[in-house]
Structure 1
Amino acid sequence: MEHTAPPEQLLADTCLAFAPVTQQRHRADGWTPETQANFIRALAAMGSVGKASRAVGMGRRSAYRLRDRAGAQSFAAAWDRALSMGRIRQFDYAMDRALNGVTTVRILRGGAIDVTGGPDMDVVRAAIREDAAPLKATKDTV
């Protein structure tokens, strides 16, 4: 069995370093320190709390409850940094697709091939919606 280092050591050399939130109950399917570190990594890659929590097999509401738990200040700070990084990454990706376009290859009936290219505005709209989501959520909760 492979032994992994604690998350604070795994992320110690990055801006995402954090002290994991202590578990109230020890559950194999709960927010273990390894799951917390993987969530922060996924959040930095995806820029979406829902997608990151699904990627680690947890629920979005559960992630927010963990963030709000006493002693989770370090985790919450890493969350904020990772979310910002992920949203910047997704926005850059969307702008690249919008400016440089995408190539779509379709094989039609009879073996004909249709190659089209152009900007992917759906990705741009999705990136803009993701940036607007926290503003709407903050407004609703205040």
Structure 2
Amino acid sequence: MEHPDSSAPLLAGTCLAFTPVSAQRRRAGGWTPEIQLCFIRALEAMGSVGRAAKAVGMGRRSAYRLRERPGAEDFAAAWDRALSMGRMRQFDYAMDRALNGVTTVRILRGGAIGVTGGPDMDIVRASLREDAAPLKATKDTF
């Protein structure tokens, strides 16, 4: 990925546009503008701070520390929007599985094939539990 100007908004032209948090010090494996961009995109896709941080090779706690830095207000606002969008995506996915069901194919001993179908109630329950709880930007519960 190219190294964008750190003062230029990332994801420009989208509702997730933000100005990256400037580095307090340069270090390998830190929160570069590229990592921040990938984190926001992963957060929008996954709806989970922990999963998004892991996807970009960073820790959940370090993500929260980045969010709390002075000058991170734009990043924090993009985080909130991305988290909301990601959780809505996960809820939609769960409802699709609830309405349309899930087909599971198992190969049993002796070569027999077992096919079962029905809703994936674990994901439905998790999604309903998350939808009922108020979203908090400082807590990752999904």
Matched, 1:85 2:85: yes
How has the CA–CA distance of structure 1 residues 87 and 135 changed in structure 2, closer, same or farther, with 3 Å as cutoff?
A: closer
Distance 1:99 1:115, change over 3 A: same
**Cα gap change, 1:57 to 1:129, in 2 (>3 Å):** farther
Q: Normalising by structure 2, report the TM-score.
A: 0.87
Identity percentage of aligned residues: 78
Please report how far the alpha carbon of residue 134 of structure 1 lies from its aligned counterpart in structure 2 after TM superposition. 6.2
Considering fraction of residues, name the structure with more helix: 1
2: CA distance between counterparts of 1:45 and 1:52? 8
User: What's 1:69 paired with?
Assistant: 69
Give the 3 Å change call, closer, same or farther, for CA 10–58 of structure 1 in structure 2.
Answer: same
Q: 1:89/1:67 Cα in 2 relative to 1: closer, same or farther (>3 Å)?
A: same
Shift of 1:37: 0.4
1:94–1:127 contact (8 Å) kept in structure 2: yes
Q: Which residue of 1 aligns with 2:59?
A: 59
Measured in 2, the distance between the counterparts of 1:48 and 1:40 equals 11
Counterparts of residues 33-52 of structure 1 (less than 5 Å): 33-52=33-52
SS in 1 for 2:62: helix
**Structure 2 unaligned blocks of 5 or more:** none
1:126 deviates by 2.3
Q: Structure 1 residues 90-99 or 126-135, which shifts more?
A: 126-135
Deviation at 1:5, TM superposition (A): 3.7
- Preserved contact between residue 47 and residue 82 of structure 2 (Cα < 8 Å): yes
Correspondence 1:1-142 to 2 at 5 A: 3-6=2-5, 8=8, 10-131=10-131
Provide the rounded CA distance (Å) in 1 between the counterparts of 2:92 and 2:31: 30
The letter of the residue matching 1:90 is: Q
Query: What are the ranges of 5 or more consecutive residues in structure 1 without an aligned counterpart?
Result: none
Structure 2 CA distance for aligned equivalents of residues 91 and 53 of structure 1 = 20
Give the whole-Å Cα distance in 1 for the aligned partners of 2:133 and 2:50: 12
| Deviation of the 1:124 alpha carbon | 1.2
How far, CA to CA, are the matches of 2:18 and 2:32 in structure 1? 13
- Asked if 2 retains the 8 angstrom alpha-carbon contact of 1:6 and 1:34, the reply is no
For the aligned residue pairs, the C-alpha RMSD in angstroms reads: 2.3
Give the number of equivalent residue pairs: 138
